[in-house]
Chains A and B, each alone.
Chain A
Amino acid sequence: MRATAILYGLLALFALCAPWIGIYPVFMMKLLCFAMFACAYNLLLGFGRMLSFGHAAFFGFAAYVTSWLITAHAMGPGLAIVGGMAVAAFLGLVIGGLAIRRHGIYFAMITLALGQLVYFVCLEAPFTGGENGLQGVPRGSLFGIVPLRSDVILYYLVLLVFVAVFLFIRRVVHSPFGQVLKAIRENEPRAISLGYDSNRYKLVAFVLSATLSGLAGSLNALVLGFATLSDVQQSTSGEVILMTLLGGTGTFFGPVVGAALILTLQEYLSDIVGGWVTAIIGVIFVACVLSFRRGIVGELAALRVERQA
């Protein structure tokens, strides 16, 4: 227990100091956004055992909505992000409502197909800018008070939001709702026979996950100043699955580790190996599924339990 506390303390210290020790803040912000995305995804996969292959739809569509509200309607960043989240929540309600009608692999295929539907809508709808996406999104100032042009100020805001989301997910998982969700994950027929309306719990989890994914996407668009088709693409859905799986599904900190590893890999490895990044990510996927299905954090935790026993 003490080791965990020390680890979290060190990480918090690192996160607070990051802009001052030569780490590019935009990269750190992108990392935090994807870590948030992966945590939101993990709520669904890790605690509800629902494998969604279409989560990029929520991340990317919210990014579009936020960028569009800012550029076309001159809305402030705070409200625009709330707008992106609201649309992601609605989208989650529709897609989740359809997908939970089937289980397991069918659930995965349905979310994949509906995610692709959202992708085509983004490709053809008039407000998304087609192949170019929406570019030059100004950061503006939060609620007209805090100017966000400076990378450092925006970084601390993103960090704050990330910590809030992280703690919120912890709270949700430890709440009675989260316990029921885990019961459904372990044995759905039994949960139903105990009187729980399992579809309702699954739908709520799905909408929560979609909303938080939307928050991550909206923030990411604000940080980078653009929303593009690659945010809604199936490959982004694949990446968030890999982040969660690599770090450890069903652990709290795993998705953060996974996101940090994958993004660092993409950022720094692409200079060395060029276009092989996709293939390398595929290799990591295969290695993960074959040899450490519990993920990095999950395996470490299991190791510690073994040592104590």
Chain B
Amino acid sequence: MSEIFGIPVAVILGQLMLGLVNGSFYALLSLGLAVIFGLMGVVNFAHGAFYTLGAFAALLGLQYFGINYWVALLVAPLAVGAVGVVIERLLLRRLYGLDPLYGLLLTFGLALIVEGSLHQVFGATGQSYPVPESLSGGVNLHFMFLPLYRGWVILASVVVCFGTWFVIERTRLGATLRAATENAPLLQAFGVNVPLLKAATYGGGVALAALAGVLASPVVLVNSHMGTSLVIVVFAVVVIGGMGSILGAIVSGLALGVIEGFTKVIYPEASNLVVFVIMALVLILRPAGLFGRE
């Protein structure tokens, strides 16, 4: 069985693989969005911009300071996360208690600032980031050829996603976080520093986006608008999955990536549209989202 519907199995598997890589990015980004929204009630429109910022941090770190990929994987999310903490302290904090729409608008403005500045400074053409040497090449699995780097991206994101899930659902820190989403003033009365918790959460969510950016930099062209359309797809993923559940964000991110990859094989013209069409269907059949509670 080397063909299905006249399409070579290797091609199908290759596209599913690409889909899974995209799905990993969707999962990492929607996870960060869900965590931020859960605790702060802010829909972070700047999420795509932070993803871009992560990729640029890796690229510039390599070009100007010779920071290698593995160090960048750690340093870039930390740096971008620190930017996130500053933004939360200076700007977002002022909007707590107001209509959540203002948070959306503010972060939209932030995304414009970040992406507009990057575009102006680095131009519109993308730059490529070299695949680290230890992950270049691939292995022949006999039924398909697996490029090592792509395999690494999937593995790394799955580990990070479930690590985050574990921290939030199974640890003391996570319990505190969940308590803060439930009833922040009460938690504060118990002596927990809730404002610090919020700043750290925003920084953490944003760092996840930056991590996705670093992971993506060797497989996409690094440019100022790499996050712009991505964040829209991620929003659709979040509407499909429902923002209430962390596991839901991870699962729907990966699944939609695969579906998108599969669409590329059978009907390439629709591959850009399929996530939005699925979102429309979910809205008709189950308005609260697959894993959501209204």
Flag if A293 contacts B102 (CB, 8 Å).
yes
Flag if B273 contacts A105 (CB, 8 Å).
no
Contact with A along B19-35 (1 / 0, CB 8 A): 00000000000000000
A157 at the interface (CB under 8 A from B): no
Residue of A nearest to B281 (CB): A98
User: In the complex, A89 Cα to B283 Cα: how many Å?
Assistant: 21
User: In the complex, A110 Cα to B284 Cα: how many Å?
Assistant: 12
A279 at the interface (CB under 8 A from B): yes
Contacts of A283 in B (CB 8 A): 109, 113
Flag if B235 contacts A98 (CB, 8 Å).
no
Contacts of B113 in A (CB 8 A): 279, 282-283, 286
Contacts of B277 in A (CB 8 A): 117
Determine chain B's interface SS by DSSP, over half rule. helix
Among the 9-residue stretches B78-86, B114-122, B139-147, B204-212, the one with 4 or more Cβ atoms under 8 Å from chain A is: B114-122
B279 to chain A, nearest CB (A): 6
Of the four ranges (under 10, 10 to 19, 20 to 34, 35 or more), the interface on chain B belongs to 35 or more
Flag if B273 contacts A117 (CB, 8 Å).
yes
Contacts of B165 in A (CB 8 A): none
Contacts of A289 in B (CB 8 A): 95, 102, 105-106, 109
B100 at the interface (CB under 8 A from A): yes
B24 to chain A, nearest CB (A): 20
A162 to chain B, nearest CB (A): 26
Most buried by A among B113, B115, B233: B113
A22 at the interface (CB under 8 A from B): no
> What number of residue pairs across chains A and B have CB atoms under 8 A from each other?
120
Chain A residues with a Cβ closer than 8 Å to the other chain, count: 40
Contacts of B200 in A (CB 8 A): none
Contact with B along A72-102 (1 / 0, CB 8 A): 0000000000000000000000000010011
Residue of A nearest to B49 (CB): A282
A110 with B106, Cβ < 8 A, contacts A277-B116, A282-B112 known: no
A113 with B116, Cβ < 8 A, contacts A98-B283, A102-B283 known: no
Flag if B235 contacts A113 (CB, 8 Å).
yes
Contact with B along A259-279 (1 / 0, CB 8 A): 000000000000000111111
Interface residues of B in 253-294 (CB under 8 A from A): 269, 272-273, 275-277, 279-280, 283-284, 287
Most buried by A among B100, B105, B233, B280: B105
B180 to chain A, nearest CB (A): 19
Contacts of A278 in B (CB 8 A): 112, 115-116, 119-120
Most buried by B among A51, A245, A276, A279: A279
B249 at the interface (CB under 8 A from A): no
B116 to chain A, nearest CB (A): 3
Flag if B112 contacts A238 (CB, 8 Å).
yes
A113 with B104, Cβ < 8 A, contacts A121-B273, A282-B110 known: no
Residue ranges of A at the interface with B (Cβ–Cβ < 8 Å) = 51, 98, 101-102, 104-106, 108-110, 112-114, 116-117, 120-121, 123-124, 234, 238, 241, 245, 274-286, 288-290, 293
A-B contact pairs, 21 of them (CB 8 A): A98-B280, A98-B283, A105-B104, A106-B239, A113-B236, A113-B276, A114-B279, A116-B233, A123-B272, A275-B120, A276-B117, A276-B120, A278-B115, A278-B116, A279-B112, A280-B116, A282-B109, A282-B113, A284-B109, A289-B95, A290-B95
Query: In the complex, given contacts A112-B232, A279-B116, what are 17 additional A-B residue pairs having Cβ atoms less than 8 angstroms apart?
Result: A51-B101, A110-B239, A113-B239, A116-B233, A117-B273, A117-B277, A124-B272, A277-B116, A279-B120, A282-B111, A282-B112, A285-B106, A289-B102, A290-B91, A290-B95, A290-B106, A293-B98
